[in-house]
Amino acid sequence: MKSFLRFGLTAIAVTLFFNAFTVTETNAQVVIQNILNRMDTHNKALTSLQTSVRRDIYNSQVRENDRSEGLAKYLPQKGKNALVRIDWLKPVEESLAVVNKQFILYRPRLKQAIIGSIDSAASNGKGANNALAFINMSKAQLKANYSIKYIAQENVEGGIPTWHLELTPKKAQNYKTADLWVDGDGMPIQARVTENNNDSTTIFLSNIEKNKTLNASVFQINPPKGTKIVKG
């Protein structure tokens, strides 16, 4: 259950050139504002997202990393919460859908489906952030909820150039920081959430397709007869 809630953003991987910035304390805020403006513009233009997704969950106590790979779909809705579906393919098959803040996690191997509210699950301290949530955040929301620090210009996997931002929640959460790697389009291409115990979840998105037609029906998961339903 915890691993589901920590799968946390998601993002667009495109190769773009970046202007070279030499960042000092005096101009760091200018750079941050530029990045947030790009993110806001991209957020407003994004109508759908399909992508390969990789999740790495790091356990700081035993220093081990668990990796999952799959496919994700994301559909913003005006005046409503975005629709999200992730079909994990490796190491085990699981399907997750989030509709109107209600989730269903179907585990065919266990013949089990966990259902519940994203809000109540998060408030119980079982997880931190969905990386895809950062895609849906406006500039105003990011500035209102986080202290934002510019780290550096960095290349992520595949040599894709990004800006690295560190977000510290202004209000106490069950995680201490969220790092975003934002591409030149203003899209978080990689996100890492670090919990208070130093465990972390990193999401990396690739093979991106955006603004293609997605039918809302693909976000519905209907487990077969005989599936055990568990309240999450």
User: What strand order describes the sheet that includes 80-90?
Assistant: 146-156, 160-169, 175-182, 188-195, 200-210, 49-59, 64-77, 80-90, 94-99, 102-107, 112-117, 228-231
Better pLDDT: 41 or 174: 41
CATH number of the domain enclosing 129: 2.50.20.10
Is the model's pLDDT at 51 over the cut of 60? yes
Q: Mean pLDDT, the chain, as a whole number?
A: 80
Return d(Cα 203, Cα 164) in angstroms, integer: 14
Q: What is the mean pLDDT of residues 102-129?
A: 73
DSSP string, 144-170: HHEEEEEEEEEEETTTEEEEEEEEEES
Residue 169 belongs to domain spanning: 2-231
Bridging pattern class, strands 112-117 and 228-231: parallel
Q: What is the mean pLDDT of residues 102-122?
A: 84
pTM higher than 0.85, yes or no?
A: no
- Summarize pLDDT for 68-94 with one digit per residue, the tens: 999 999 888 877 778 889 999 999 999
Q: What is the mean pLDDT of residues 210-218?
A: 92
The pLDDT assigned to 108 comes to: 95
Total domains in the chain come to 1
CA 137 vs CA 143, 146, 179, 184, 187: distances in Å: 10, 11, 14, 17, 11
